[in-house]
Amino acid sequence: MYQAETNSIRIEVTPQYVEGRSDPSRSRFFWAYRVVIENAREDTVQLVSRYWQITDSLGKVEEVRGAGVIGEQPVLGPGDRFEYTSGCPLPTPSGFMRGSYTFVDETGDRFEAVIPAFSLDLPGMQHVIN
């Protein structure tokens, strides 16, 4: 599990290799990751967009930007949590992801919350964050 807190937004990520969706003979390795977002602020916020940087073990970087997460732009009141699961294919048996979420508070101000960098490694491999 990987954790970060920015502007009283807590983000926890737990990645897991998905053998059933992977095919190493074709250089396809798939991970699922569960994200928990908690609002530890005293005001309500809305997650409006995401940014991911995905790096494979050869150093190839892919960037992903989009509205919300899994088709939603969740509103989080004080103490609320939002959880979702998504996935990521890689052409290599290891890599890492990191990123940020953009939130809007009740006054309309935007701010970024850091998604902690997390390792995508086959089971039994040493976890490395580059």
- 91 lies in some domain: yes
- 38 lies in some domain: yes
Per DSSP, the residues of 48-116 read: EEEEEEEEETT--EEEEEEESBTTB--EE-TT-EEEEEEEEEESSSEEEEEEEEEEEETTS-EEEEEEE
Per DSSP, the residues of 3-33 read: EEEETTEEEEEEEEE-GGG-BGGGTBEEEEE
- 36 lies in some domain: yes
The arithmetic mean of pLDDT across residues 101-128, rounded, is 90
pTM over 0.95: no
Q: Is the pLDDT of residue 78 over 70?
A: yes
- The whole domain housing 33 covers 2-118
- Can you give the pLDDT at residue 123? 83
CATH of the domain at 39: 2.60.40.1470
Query: In this predicted model, what pLDDT tens digit does every residue of 13-63 receive, in sequence order?
Result: 999 999 999 999 999 999 999 999 999 999 999 999 999 999 999 999 999
- 127 lies in some domain: no
Euclidean distance between CA atoms 15 and 100, whole angstroms: 16
Single-letter amino acid code for the residue at 85: T
